[in-house]
Amino acid sequence: MTEPVQMDIHRIMQLLPHRYPFLLIDRVTECIPGETLTGIKNVTVNEPFFSGHFPQRPVMPGVIILEAMAQATGLLAFATAGTPEDDTLYYLVGIDKARFRRPVEPGDQLVLNASLTRTRRNIWMFGATAEVNGEAVSSAEMMCAPRSNQN
């Protein structure tokens, strides 16, 4: 069995190409390559999307929650396949069965869970969930595929 690993923001930034304001994972608390990853996103009122969504009651947009879950799947893919020697990126190629169960607001800590379900013809398939205080807020099936950033 592979030993679980953690990732701080510095390691996350080595693996993901995202930067402010679009880097949506603050820390990986546990990763078992080839199996699962758990990460966190601390949601603050200073997030740029809150000023317009919605001014009277800030709510994290569902597409941003999905992006945070997708970034968790990307980190799991890198942890599983190893850091590529070239500039390969894992691109999101599909989302199925996306569900939203409750709003995410400033002050919430989003716990992101990704699990690798299978790979087929260079497509990686994942189950992903987001929780706040142990309560599910979103779930989806996600697919990504590696591709050279030079194309």
Q: Which of 18, 27, 53, 147 is catalytic?
A: 53
Three-state helix/strand/coil letters over the chain: CCCCEEECHHHHHHHCCCCCCCCCCCEEEEEECCCEEEEEEECCCCCHHHHCCCCCCCCCCHHHHHHHHHHHHHHHHHHHHCCCCCCEEEEEEEEEEEEECCCCCCCCEEEEEEEEEEEECCEEEEEEEEEECCEEEEEEEEEEEEEECCC
Told to judge if 10 belongs to the known catalytic residues of this protein, a careful annotator would answer no
Q: What is the spatial distance between Cα 32 and Cα 80, in angstroms, rounded to a whole number?
A: 8
- Give the residue numbers marked as catalytic: 53
